Each structure stands twice: as C-alpha cells, then as structure tokens.
Structure 1
Amino acid sequence: MTQQRKVAFIHIHRTGGSTISSLLHQAKQPNDIILSQHCRLNCLAKCYPEYNDSFFVFSMVRNPWERIMSWYLLVQSRAQTKTDFITFIDLIQAEESRLCGSFLFNQVDYLTPEANGKIANQIYRYENYEHDVKAVLEYLEMPINEIPKLNNNRLTSAYRDYYSTATKNLVSRLCEKDIDEFKYSF
C-alpha cells in the first residue's frame, strides 16, 4: 500500500494553477488527500476539516505586472463589454473588498497564515514554471509525462509592452507587498 500523501496547493489566480491542480488530481492515489483551491492559507482549516499541519503546503507566485495583465487579458477575452486597463484595475479594486478576497492583488496575502499557523512549505515561481512543477511533482513522487498548458491566454508580447508609466506605477502601488516579499521588478 502506498503511503498517503497529504497535499494542499494554494492556487493563486493566474499562476498556472489550473495545470498544477489537474496534474495533482491525475496522479492522486486512492488514499491521498489533495486540496487545491483558490483559497487563502488561513482559510484551509475552515474550508477543509481534514486539513492539519501534516500537509505539504505549496503555491506558485508570478511577477505582479505579468499576473495582473494576464488576468486582464483573460477577463477581456470573455467579456461582452471591453474595458481599458485602468478601468479594469478600478473594478477589481472594488471587487477585492466586495468579494472578500477571492482575487487579491498581493499573492503574499494568500499565503499569510493565522497567528502561529503553518506557512507554505514551498513557494515556487511562475518564471521557472516547468522546472518548478516537475520539482514539486518529483518531491511528491507523482509521475508525470508532460506538463500541459491549461487556461493559458498567452500574452501576445512581453507584459511590459502593455503598460504605460501610469499603469506600471498603479500596479507597483497595489502589489507593493509582493514586490517587496518576492523581490520582483518591472
């Protein structure tokens, strides 16, 4: 009998998490417990009664300017009415408080534990996506043949090309905690 794997993947929006969730569930054995949701670390115990400190907890983070642009392009591809980027930012700022954080500007806010709570065992970077996904699946002893690309909206050029000075500075302000914590730069 295979040893039970207990895995909690904190799926931050627009960080390749749909692919990771799919791979985790494909490799899941009957006695494994895989938790993978757009959920904050401090909500795991509330959302999942089976969650405890024995879980391997990991997440993926992404350059905030690239991540916000990816979110914008995804929403625009599905929207009936198109908006400009600044209007989009204004809308998700309003939504952030109204939706109780289902989309948070700062990824570090997804990873903040309750007082004296467990923090993520590992935080991977989207910029090293293929390497890091292989590394986590290897660590979890989950076989993988290839890494598919799910829910990929593909930037048509470098994310920097989409930004004006004003929008660059706006995202810098909104994502200041991520920039500081993960040492990202434009």
Structure 2
Amino acid sequence: MLLSHRKKFLFIHIAKTGGTSVRSALQKYRWRDPYYAPIWLASKLSGMANHELAIKLPRHSKAIAAKEMLPREFYESLFKFAFVRNPWDLQVSSYHHIRRERPQLMRPNESFAEFLYRKFDPDREWQYHLDTSITPQSNYLVDLNGDLIVDFIGHYETLQQDFDHCCKTIGIPRIELPHKRKAGDRLAYREYYTPETQALIEKVFARDIELLGYSF
C-alpha cells in the first residue's frame, strides 16, 4: 500500500499484479510528501516492536484497513486504485514464484496440478501462509459488506494503459513503467491447465471472475 498526502492517492498493492513496477514508478512522490519523515519513522518503530504497535499499513494491506484507520473525510478524498490479474494466470505466477523463491515449501518435482490441489485442499494440514495469492483479489477492494471502496481497478493485462489513466487522474506526468520482476521462466498460462484444474480455479475464485470480468 502506498499513500501520498500531497498527491492524494492510495495505491492498494495486490501481489503479483505488476504492483512492484507501480510502486517503483510512484515512489518519488512518496519521498517528496511532507509526511514522509514521520511515516518512515513510524515504519521503523513498528519493525523494532515486532509490528505490535499497529502503526504501519503493510505493503499488501487491503483497502478496508486504510478505510478503518484513516479519517473518513481523508479516505474519501483520496484517489484509491489497484491492479488485478486473471486468476488462472495469477496461480501460474504463484507456482513459479514459490518454486523459485521458496523451494522448501514445494514437494520434490511437484507439478502445477499437485500444487493447486494441495494449496486449495480445505483439509490441508500445512498452510500456504507465505503465498498471498490464496486470497481472492476482490477481498482487497471491498468493505465488510462486499461493496467496492476503491475508485479505479486497473488490469495487469493492460498495465501501462491503465497506469497512464491513474497518472492523469493523480495529476502527474505519464511514467513509463519499469519492468520489475519480469518473469521469463514460464509458458502461456493456459498451457498449465487441465479441464479439472481450470474448473478448480473457477470455483475458488468465482467472486473475482464475476467482479473483475475475467474468463479463462
């Protein structure tokens, strides 16, 4: 999550949706914010206290967290936006990320299908607690009643185009997004799926598919 008092925007960072590139592009506006110093200090204090002081909005906080913590008028005055990704594609990204960055969480030679069935098994003993893609993307964008509380939802598939819209709305020059964490270790996401695993993701992320307008 990235908040700018000066430019009046709140970026909700959903993992594996191009958010690292967006954060990198907008970071300089955070540095120039008059509240940057106290925000930085609060972040450091939170870390020193093992994050038990509740004074920091984590990188992947949901919009509802900001709405509950910020004054109502201030929250409403912000341009609140996020980027989302095709749920089937997102799970392929998750599989490769864990296999590359946290191989100790994978079983030997675990296939993509085995990964999905274990990940979404309601009776699993071990939780994929380090993988935020187990959480529906829509959960980051709604309040406790399920109503949208953000102003704009961009898409990973049209990342630059939608980010251009955000820049225009915020009132900053167009920024060419850097290619942060660009993956080159995978096939097209449809190649990973069988009819059964395709249906599994359709069931688990039905709300995302409906709300965000995605299809396989």
Q: Distance in 1 between matches of 2:168 and 2:92?
A: 31
* Identical aligned residues as a percent: 27
Structure 2 residue 81 is the aligned partner of structure 1 residue 58? yes
List per-residue Cα deviations over 1:32-67 (Å, max 9, x = no partner): 779782111111145x55662222111111111011
Among 204, 209, 216, the alignment partner of 1:174 is 204
Aligned residues: 183
The within-5 A match list for 1:3-42 is 4-28=6-30, 29-31=32-34, 37-42=59-64
Inter-CA distance 185–103: structure 2 relative to 1 (3 Å threshold): closer
RMSD between aligned residues = 3.2
Once the two structures are TM-superposed, the CA of residue 100 in structure 1 deviates from its matched residue by 11
Inter-CA distance 30–55: structure 2 relative to 1 (3 Å threshold): same
Q: Distance in 1 between matches of 2:85 and 2:91?
A: 9
Q: Aligned with 2:17: secondary structure? A: coil
Q: Distance in 1 between matches of 2:182 and 2:25?
A: 15
Once the two structures are TM-superposed, the CA of residue 19 in structure 1 deviates from its matched residue by 0.7
Inter-CA distance 162–100: structure 2 relative to 1 (3 Å threshold): closer
Contact 2:63–2:142 at 8 Å: present in 1 too? Answer: yes
Structure 2 residue 130 is the aligned partner of structure 1 residue 108? no
Inter-CA distance 114–97: structure 2 relative to 1 (3 Å threshold): farther
Once the two structures are TM-superposed, the CA of residue 133 in structure 1 deviates from its matched residue by 1.2
Q: Distance in 2 between matches of 1:16 and 1:8?
A: 16
Query: TM-score, normalising length from structure 2?
Result: 0.71
Contact 1:6–1:55 at 8 Å: present in 2 too? Answer: yes
Looking at secondary structure, tell me which structure has more helix per residue.
2
1:38 partner letter? H
Q: Distance in 2 between matches of 1:120 and 1:36?
A: 18
Q: Which moved more, 1:91-100 or 1:137-146?
A: 91-100
Q: Distance in 1 between matches of 2:84 and 2:125?
A: 21
Contact 1:57–1:121 at 8 Å: present in 2 too? Answer: yes
Inter-CA distance 145–110: structure 2 relative to 1 (3 Å threshold): closer
What is aligned with 2:167? 137
Inter-CA distance 145–75: structure 2 relative to 1 (3 Å threshold): same
Q: Distance in 2 between matches of 1:55 and 1:100?
A: 30
The within-5 A match list for 1:152-167 is 152-154=182-184, 156-167=186-197
Structure 2 residue 107 is the aligned partner of structure 1 residue 84? no
Contact 1:96–1:104 at 8 Å: present in 2 too? Answer: no
Q: Which moved more, 1:54-63 or 1:90-99?
A: 90-99
Q: Distance in 1 between matches of 2:79 and 2:125?
A: 31
Contact 2:24–2:178 at 8 Å: present in 1 too? Answer: no
Give ranges in structure 2 of 5+ residues lacking alignment. Answer: 40-56
Once the two structures are TM-superposed, the CA of residue 163 in structure 1 deviates from its matched residue by 1.1
Q: Which moved more, 1:149-158 or 1:90-99?
A: 90-99
